[in-house]
Structure 1
Amino acid sequence: MVFTCKICTDNIAVTQKRIKCSHCLLYYHTECVKIGKDSAGIRAQWKCQNCKIKNSKLATSEVDKKKKAHKSQTPTESESDKYSTSSSTNSTPNLNQDLITKDKNENLEGTLFNSPDILEQFESIFDNKVKPMVESIFNELKVSLIAEIRKEMAKEIKGLEEENAQLRIEYENLDEKCKKLEAKITQTDTEVSELQKQINNQQQWARMSNLEIVGLPELPKESPINLVIEIAKHAGVTLKHEQIEFASRVQPMQSKPGRPKTLVAKLKNRELKDAILSGLRKVRGISTTDIGIGGDHRRFYVNEHLTPKNKQLFNKAKSIASDKSYKFIWIRNCSIFLRRNEESPALTISSENDLNKIK
């Protein structure tokens, strides 16, 4: 504990000599109050200058009070003479007795506060009495607070459990709805796929008598019907105008610069289409010079008119067949066929699932 000298107002270090007033209990440097090494005998009764002055004034005041009280009790002149001797004799001893008693009380008070250090006594009392009481109160408060917290937590947990149960019920309901929707979507996808397949088959059936001519150069003022007749003539088939329902150029789905538009011709019946394709296979294809078109010699191709979906399927089958070293791939009656070699059986490709047959 740090003490402060009341004269120089500096802190009193542990290694410095100090003295405490037996009356006001304040500390002083021994040097500041000019007490030497031989002060051991007076430490218990030592008083600071302020307390000495206060005690001196207090003693004077007590004496004055005694005198006034004595005067108020003094008898009349006739009685004064009678008791003058006894009054003068008894007043002085009573005053001296009071002063002696006061000095003894002050000495006893100084001895009480200086015997052990009063602050250390307070600390000891606090450690032995007050501190256990404080700890007991603190423990009781802690137990009470913990009980309240547990109670509140129990309420919160119960509320969360109820909310969780409600959420679980809602989740199960949503999960059941999702499963029903998934089943419905699967069913719808199946139905849509079946409808698409039917539409594709209907579109393909409508094109069974069609020819698709790819790569044939476009000529100014050309007659598509006459071009189809010349192509049939090269294939060894005599074709008349009335046997052609229509023939025209069509815009491809993905046009490329410099590539001519595809020529599509619809014949009266499928036998004419098959005859033309069979004749072209026998003569090993056709070119512009075969049908009397001047200029550079250019090959073009006459195929069956497939739907866009069947064209994509044909391109995929052709790519896979090339990777698997298949020698033959062709189209007949708008169906795709593959054969690894002359001796192997033909494979029919009519859907995406049939591509797995190519091994």
Structure 2
Amino acid sequence: MSGPCSVCKKNVAKDFVKCKVCNLAVAHPGCAAKSKTQWACSSCRADSDSTKAGSNPPSNPSSEAGDLIADQLGNLAANMNARFDAAEESRMNNHADFERALEFLSSKYDELLKTIGEQNKTISELRKGMEAFTSKLKEKDSMINLLALRVNELEQSAHSLSIEIHGVPRAAERENLHEVLGQLAQQVGAPQPSLENVADAYRLPARTPRAVGQRPRGEPPIVIKFKDASVRLAWLAGRRRLQQQRPADVNREPVPSTSAAAVATPAPRPDGRMLPPIRIYERLTAYNKRLLYLTRGAATAKGYKFVWVKEGKIFVRRSEQLGALIRIRCEEDIRTKLDYTAAEVNA
């Protein structure tokens, strides 16, 4: 049997006491404040008190005190149960708020994961596009390099009948190149320049002077363009003949070049300084001149003894007895064939 507690009015489930009078009303043991005497509900006590009021029975202080204590304990239990219910309700509300907050964060996290996935896909597509662009760029760079080499070869072929003569001092403001070249032809043992074998002869413009404290630049070179290849070869062959007339140079560079032999003994200047020796070169393009400069530096660093130019082509060899001829066509050949790093080449 169960029902509402006559004291706190809450439901009574299992443990309870019955009213000793009506045997119907129930209460929690704590609310009834069960004592040695059986408990009576408030209705039965009221009826009993009204019945006995006419006879004015003597009061029982002990019974009244017990009833007062029982009422106070019942009120205290009801108050505690109310507070417990409020706390439980607050806890349930807090738990619901926490679940709602967790659901909100979970939805935001899912959105963030979706956004990151889309961004990763976009980055992957951009990376693929960049790789394709880089591949095409390398192809175009390779094509440009091939075209640049082809243009350089065509330009070099235009110099196939030309030579450059360095170190010839300028005798006067208006020099007579025909006379100067005639004297040099005698020293070289080559045919005298004339209208029959020379197409053009001129001195290149003077270069910008060096800064103060640096070694002054020499005289600009003289360019001779021949009509006959045999005459050009005679001038180039004469370098070896006159090289023997040049005294030993203790300050000679460690990498010699057979394309730049001295053709005259250095002579003193009016101020007492020695003039540089006269040198004859095959005429090279600007690209080949830079390539020859880089090749000499790399050959010196890597222990190659010979670097020379023949018919506009640059060759390297480790020594007279060791190593095959190495043809240098571009800067990439310096890196690969001479094992010289890009940083060293560009230095």
TM-score bin, normalised by smaller chain: 0.5 to 0.7
Looking at structure 1, the residues matched to 311 and 232 of structure 2 have their Cα atoms a distance apart, in angstroms, of: 10
Amino acid in the other structure paired with 1:267: F
Whether 2:189 is the aligned partner of 1:247: answer no
Looking at structure 2, the residues matched to 135 and 125 of structure 1 have their Cα atoms a distance apart, in angstroms, of: 15
Amino acid in the other structure paired with 1:268: K
Q: Residue 241 of structure 1: SS of its match in structure 2?
A: coil
Amino acid in the other structure paired with 2:170: E
Deviation string 1:115-171 (CA, Å, 9 cap, x unpaired) is 9xx9xx9xx879934543343133212211122112212322232233233323322
Looking at structure 2, the residues matched to 165 and 349 of structure 1 have their Cα atoms a distance apart, in angstroms, of: 51
How far is the alpha carbon of 1:200 from its aligned partner?
1.1
Whether 2:222 is the aligned partner of 1:263: answer yes
Comparing 203-212 with 185-194, which one deviates more in the overlay?
Answer: 203-212
Looking at structure 1, the residues matched to 94 and 132 of structure 2 have their Cα atoms a distance apart, in angstroms, of: 55
Q: Residue 88 of structure 2: SS of its match in structure 1?
A: helix
Q: After superposition, where does 1:1-359 map in structure 2 within 5 Å?
A: 128-129=80-81, 131-220=83-172, 221-242=174-195, 243-251=197-205, 256=210, 257-284=216-243, 285-287=262-264, 298=275, 299-344=277-322, 345-355=324-334, 356-358=336-338
Q: Residue 287 of structure 1: SS of its match in structure 2?
A: coil
- Greater helix fraction, Structure 1 or Structure 2: 1
Amino acid in the other structure paired with 2:298: I
Comparing 220-229 with 245-254, which one deviates more in the overlay?
Answer: 245-254
Bigger Rg over Cα: 1
Name the Cα RMSD after superposition: 3.2
Which residue number in structure 1 is paired with residue 256 of structure 2? Answer: none
Amino acid in the other structure paired with 1:234: Q
- List alignment gaps of at least 5 residues for structure 2: 1-63, 211-215, 244-261, 340-347
Amino acid in the other structure paired with 1:246: D
How far is the alpha carbon of 1:197 from its aligned partner?
0.8
Give identity over the alignment, percent: 20
How far is the alpha carbon of 1:274 from its aligned partner?
2.1
How far is the alpha carbon of 1:348 from its aligned partner?
2.6
Q: Residue 320 of structure 2: SS of its match in structure 1?
A: coil
Looking at structure 1, the residues matched to 302 and 202 of structure 2 have their Cα atoms a distance apart, in angstroms, of: 38
Q: Residue 278 of structure 2: SS of its match in structure 1?
A: strand
How far is the alpha carbon of 1:260 from its aligned partner?
1.6
Runs of 4+ deviating beyond 6 Å: 124-127
TM-score normalised to the size of structure 1?
Answer: 0.58
Residues 206, 219 of structure 2: 8 Å contact kept: no
- List alignment gaps of at least 5 residues for structure 1: 1-107
Amino acid in the other structure paired with 1:349: I
